[in-house]
């Protein structure tokens, strides 16, 4: 389809002339020089044909009848594209561009309109989203609708959309339960760690401090000449135990009570009821002692490393009593009290003498069984003669 163009200049445009105006019809039919007259002669050029906007007859020799006149080519005008059919129908005008934005009607925006993206305000987009996904589309529909909401980051949400997103972010019962169980496990683990730290570290720190204080008090009393009575009260310290090989220096108190004696880092003397044993100064008998192997100062932790002949020294206000390790019973039930007899069963001793028995729990960190170490006195040395060789070397 070629574009229409006028063939002449006139003060009135085509379609505005009345049919009765002189020359209106002839200018476009017979007066323009197109074709021949009924007699075979070409039509003469009509009025206004010399204006340069029509066609011009070619100059030259006369034409014979029936011969059409040739015309010079007319300069072509710029080609106008065909009319877009979409402009014929009614359509929604493009939205106005925001101030400062690049030119409206860009290729991207027009392409987006041709792709059929939703146009209009927020209400129209929300209705379109509801038609696509239903009234209750869920979290996925809400997020897609929010993504289609102009594609602008930080765009305000409606109250309904905000509530839907809040419900979608709210954890379900299973998540809440798993979190609660995890917190319980974490809390339990932390408490157990604190308990283990208390048992393995803090009890030793506190027991060592208490035992050191008791040993210093005993030595001060002895140095000042203060004499202790022959009978001691439960929990009262009266001697100091030395095990040079294990670097143990610990007070000996009366009784084997846990809170009053053993948990304070001291070694307890069996001096109650049927388990009452002899004192170091007795001429015969078995001096029985108990101590922790783990925690609370753990004075007997490594007595299993003692070998026959290793010295064990008991220091009192007046004398040093030196024993030498003789034998060991690695495991025995707690009910085996015969190990405290004057002649202990299983020790290898066959006749009365002056013996020492060390008892502790085994295996480590349990109290299921007992470990027994025996020794035999080899020297009784007054304090006035100085320390024995076992404490000097």
Catalytic residues: 292, 361, 370
- Report how far residue 253's alpha carbon sits from residue 213's, in angstroms, rounded to the nearest whole number: 13
Strand pairing report for 369-382 and 354-362: antiparallel
Instruction: Determine contact, residues 311/248, Cβ cutoff 8 Å.
Output: no
Instruction: Determine contact, residues 118/148, Cβ cutoff 8 Å.
Output: yes
């Amino acid at each position: 389809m070629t574009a229409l163009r006028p063939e002449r200049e006139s003060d009135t445009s085509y379609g505005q002339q009345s049919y009765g105006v002189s020359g209106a019809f002839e200018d476009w039919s017979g007066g323009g020089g197109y074709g021949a007259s009924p007699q075979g002669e070409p039509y003469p050029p009509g009025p206004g044909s010399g204006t340069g906007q029509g066609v011009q007859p070619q100059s030259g020799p006369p034409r014979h009848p029936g011969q059409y006149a040739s015309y010079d080519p007319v300069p072509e005008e710029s080609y106008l594209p065909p009319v877009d059919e979409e402009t014929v129908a009614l359509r929604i005008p493009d939205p106005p561009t925001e101030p400062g934005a690049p030119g409206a009607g860009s290729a991207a925006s027009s392409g987006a309109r041709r792709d059929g993206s939703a146009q209009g305000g927020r209400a129209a987009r929300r209705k379109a989203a509801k038609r696509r996904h239903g009234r209750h589309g869920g979290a996925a529909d809400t997020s897609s609708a929010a993504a289609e909401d102009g594609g602008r980051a930080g765009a305000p949400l409606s109250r309904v959309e905000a509530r839907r997103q809040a419900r979608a972010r709210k954890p379900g019962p299973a998540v809440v339960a798993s979190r609660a169980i995890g917190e319980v496990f974490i809390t339990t683990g932390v408490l157990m760690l604190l308990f283990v730290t208390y048992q393995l570290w803090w009890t030793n720190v506190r027991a060592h401090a208490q035992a050191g204080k008791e040993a210093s008090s005993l030595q001060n009393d002895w140095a000042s000449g203060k004499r202790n009575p022959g009978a001691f009260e439960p929990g009262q310290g009266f001697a100091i135990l030395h095990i040079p090989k294990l670097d143990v220096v610990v007070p000996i108190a009366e009784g084997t009570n846990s809170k009053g004696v053993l948990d304070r880092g001291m070694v307890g003397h069996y001096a109650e009821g049927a388990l009452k044993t002899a004192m170091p100064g007795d001429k015969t008998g078995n001096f029985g002692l108990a101590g922790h192997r783990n925690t609370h100062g753990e004075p007997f932790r490594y007595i299993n490393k003692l070998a026959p002949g290793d010295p064990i020294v008991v220091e009192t206000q007046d004398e040093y009593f030196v024993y030498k390790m003789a034998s060991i019973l690695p495991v025995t039930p707690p009910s085996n009290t015969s190990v405290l007899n004057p002649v202990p069963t299983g020790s290898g001793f066959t006749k009365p003498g002056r013996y020492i028995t060390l008892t502790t729990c085994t295996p480590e960190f349990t109290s299921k069984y007992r470990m027994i170490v025996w020794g035999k006195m080899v020297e009784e040395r007054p304090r006035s003669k100085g320390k024995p060789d076992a404490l000097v070397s």
